[in-house]
Amino acid sequence: MTGARDQVARLLALVPYIRARSEVSLEQAAADFGVSPAQLAKDLNVLWFCGLPGLGMGDLIDVDMEALEGEGMIRVSNADYLTRPLRLGSSEASALIVALRALREGSDDDVRPIVDSTLNKLEAAAGDGAALAAQVDVRFPRRQAHVDELRERLEQAVSDKRQVRLDYYVPTRDESTERVVDPLRVVHADGHTYLDAWCHLAEDQRLFRLDRVSSAEVLDTPVRRHAGVRPRDLAQGIFQPSPDDTLATLRLTPEARWVAEYYPVEDTRNERGGGLLVRLRVGDPAWLTRLMLRLGDSAELLEPPDLAEQVRRTAAAALANYS
């Protein structure tokens, strides 16, 4: 039954759309409305029976069926009842206004005034429908414009199947390295944008966070094929511990409980006083050392002993700088 509702919504826009253009090809109209030409032809058949009902046949809208079936052109007459589309609903107006604001944040000085004037005109036309937009706010990370530009270039490289040379910063090892990658796809997860790619330096599949890419050059060379390599399924999140990773046991005080939510843990056990015992998989010992130094006295590494010793040695070496 939602079919009729959607069809009426479409027709309410279709009539003024055609009137504003005097005639439109079925193809063009279908593209503009995001439906198939066959569906649009069905819609026009409904219109044929609509108009101001009343005496006898009433006063019906006239669709030029000959032009439609012959040249595939849409012409409509006697449709003065519907000269303007329906006003914007609050969800429609707000979704568009919030999107425009997002566009405004990433735009440069040339484009921003155009976005501003568009926003003003749209808000005026939407009237009350725009009210919800005041209750929605979007704040992007500082480097968002850089990430947007990069994302578009990398998406192009994915579809062109071209290799990319990346200058990428690896925080756990604190180094910037240059590498050539075969891009697989660009993906969003957990508030960040990543390039999923085969990395020729690591000789493995890797995820690259776009805000850590300092430069990317799309090369002329085509990507190589890699048997069995497919874009990752990120439904389980970005951090996907491998079963080969070392299993570490941490005792967390209540202030450090966030660790168990932030990183995937194997299991947790509540302790008296609100603390938590967690076991997690550690791929890179440097990462765990970094985490333990941050946590200070709000966490204790119980297992494995060699990693605990490494944390103590690193802390002692750093502390020596302050004496």
| Residues within window 170-189 making contact with another protein, judged by CB under 8 A | 171, 174-176, 188-189
Q: Which of 38, 65, 136, 201 binds another protein (CB under 8 A)?
A: 136
Angle between helices 26-33 and 2-21 (to 10 degrees): 130
* Euclidean distance between CA atoms 18 and 67, whole angstroms: 14
CB atoms within 10 A of CB 303: 13
Q: 302 CB contacts (<8 Å, ≥6 apart)?
A: 249, 250, 251, 308
Looking at residues 260 to 289 of the shown chain, list those that interact with another protein (rule: CB under 8 A). 261, 270, 274, 289
Q: What's the rounded Cα separation, in Å, for the pair 265 and 290?
A: 17
The yes or no reply on residue 236 touching another protein (CB under 8 A) is no
User: Which C-beta is closer to another protein: that of 25 or that of 221?
Assistant: 25
Among 37, 241, 255, 277, contact with another protein (rule: CB under 8 A): 255
Task: Give the contact letters, 137-176, x = binds to another protein (CB under 8 A), - = no.
Answer: xxxxx--xx--xx-xx----------------x-x--xxx
The residues that bridge with 270 in the sheet, in sequence order, are 276
Query: Nearest distance from residue 83's CB to another protein, in Å?
Result: 8
Which contiguous run of DSSP H or E holds residue 7? helix 2-21
Smallest separation (angstroms) from another protein to the CB of 94 = 7
Residue 61 to residue 81: CA distance in whole angstroms: 9
Residue 110 CB, shortest distance to another protein, in Å, is 9
Angle at 223 between CA 180 and CA 161, to 5 degrees: 115
Residues 6+ away with beta carbon under 8 Å from 316? none
Among 72, 85, 264, 285, binds another protein (CB under 8 A): 85
- Binding-site size for another protein (CB under 8 A) equals 117
Please report whether residue 233 would count as binding another protein according to CB under 8 A. Answer: no
Piece of 76-84, 156-164, 194-202, 218-226 that binds another protein (CB under 8 A): 76-84
Q: Could you say which of 25, 77, 91, 156 contacts another protein (CB under 8 A)?
A: 91
Does residue 34 belong to the site contacting another protein (CB under 8 A)? yes
Min dist CB 175 to another protein, Å, is: 6
| Residues listed for the chain | 323
Cα torsion at 65, 67, 73, 76 (round to 10°)? -50
Say whether residue 225 binds another protein (CB under 8 A): no
